[in-house]
Structure 1
Amino acid sequence: MSATASTHTVVLLQFTEDENSRTYLDFDSINDALDGICQIYEQKLKVVNQDAQAITYDLCDLINYLDSIRDLSCLTYNDIQKTYIPHGRDWVKSKIYMSLKKQAK
């Protein structure tokens, strides 16, 4: 099993300037965390487009959404060091891009 598949990951989000919009999501793996981040965007699209039969988006739309979030970061557990490693927004976007590219193959 790859490290990506088994690394406990915490996603930290602050959606707006309001500190009350801070939240976190807890995942068993980096891949689950990336899927969870995409699902947040998809849920937002469903709310905004309630009457649509089908909703589609491209990578550029997703990246723009991620850039619009006030704060986005992840903590991934490093079993060797027994600590969490912080990763910023660019890391998240890169991992999502690589994950979607892999799924498209």
Structure 2
Amino acid sequence: ERPFDLGILFDQYADLAREVGQRLHHCGYRVRYNEPYSGLEGLIFSAHSHGSRHGLVYLELEINNSLIAHPERAAKMGKQISEVLRVLFSGTEEHKERLR
């Protein structure tokens, strides 16, 4: 059993990872950065490859399967994650540029 709920994996966007992590922590989740895999060690190949190719900001979320094993819990987590991302990416252009 993992001692955390969400791993936020990143290579280039540490500030964004921390901001997402802090917001998800406020939702009650135990968050770790670059665990159980590290983006800094090249272990987010798909996110890095597709994000870089299209000029997009990217992260990868590693979710503890026990939190999404039941439809109700999966739906709750999905809503919380989507709200965090919506708030972060619906900011001003200045805020969006800071995330790049």
- Is TM-score (shorter-chain normalized) higher than 0.5? no
User: Quick check: which has more Rg, 1 or 2?
Assistant: 1
Which is strand-richer, 1 or 2?
1
For normalisation by structure 2, the TM-score amounts to 0.30
